[in-house]
Amino acid sequence: MAIAIVPIRETLNVGEDVILRFHPELNPLLESIKRRGWRYRFIDVTGSARVLLYLHRVFFKLNYYPPRIERFEERGTYTIETEVGENPPAVLNVESIDSFKISISTEHVCGCVTIDPLRRIITHIADVLWSGMKEDLSEKLVKAKEVHEVVQFLLDMGYALEDACTMERYKKIVDLLEGGYKFSLTIELTVEREEDVPSWEELKRDLSRFFRERGLLMEIKKEPRKGILPIFRKPIP
């Protein structure tokens, strides 16, 4: 029976104790979350490890990828793909934990906020005010208060909102709970140097951060849809 110990760098299914062995600086954050009665779980854990493979049980497939014209490659690439069966291989030794996220849940909202603690970024805020949810206003208000408490806790710790989507969702909750002063601002942009123009998502993110640093929350108002195609249209690619 042939056995091989193979190094891998991919998504890992490991326990909290393994993650904290590499990142003990997380302990104060996790304790603060538990003290507030919230729950958490680690998701999207990636790193490097060594796994045990029984070679007589696996199947290898040789793949060839031709050179990619858009990247001006002159040669193709060969890869070997391995099918190991229904169960994952046994992890013998975890060598590093490179990235992960923490999903935080409250009493009424499961996975209400997700963070990347290594980058100190809030990557996801649950859309508890979505009009498609069949809940009355009182139920949404309870959930919105819980989400607001978690986000405010993280912002006070120095975390930042990742993109325009998270900022818009946070803005809707602030508008509902705090009812702050709002005003509209119309901006017309002209392309001067096309090579320097960012993507639409990058532009929204940068504008959101610009206003957030000045105490303002931004939301880009969407025009009423006429048919299906307008939802795919953006001012810039």
Q: What is the pLDDT of residues 201-210, one digit of tens each?
A: 888 778 877 8
Say what the pLDDT of residue 26 is. 96
Whether 232 has a pLDDT exceeding 50, the answer reads no
HSE toward the beta carbon, residue 169, CA cutoff 13 A:
23
More confident residue, 100 or 136: 100
Span 79-98, mean pLDDT? 78
- The amino acid at residue 116 is D
Tell the burial category of 102 from Cβ atoms under 10 Å away from its Cβ (0-12, 13-18, 19+): buried
Among 79, 80, 75, 166, residue whose Cα is nearest residue 116 = 166
Our CA angle for 189, 193, 198, nearest 5°, is 70
More confident residue, 84 or 120: 120
Rounded to 5 degrees, what are φ and ψ at 210?
-55, -50
CA dist., res. 100 & res. 118, Å (int): 8
* Residue the block writes with tokens 């009665």: 37
- The amino acid at residue 66 is P
Q: What is the pTM of this model?
A: 0.68
Span 177-199, mean pLDDT? 77
Rounded to 5 degrees, what are φ and ψ at 38?
-90, 165
Say what the pLDDT of residue 190 is. 80
Contacts of 145 (CB under 8 A, 6+ apart): 177
Contacts of 32 (CB under 8 A, 6+ apart): 153
Contacts of 209 (CB under 8 A, 6+ apart): 160, 161
Span 190-206, mean pLDDT? 80
Span 163-171, mean pLDDT? 87
Say what the pLDDT of residue 108 is. 92
Kind of pairing between the strands at 59-65 and 77-83: antiparallel
More confident residue, 53 or 224: 53
Whether 139 has a pLDDT exceeding 80, the answer reads yes
H/E segment holding residue 78: strand 77-83
Rounded to 10 deg, the angle between the 137-156 and 164-178 helix axes is 120
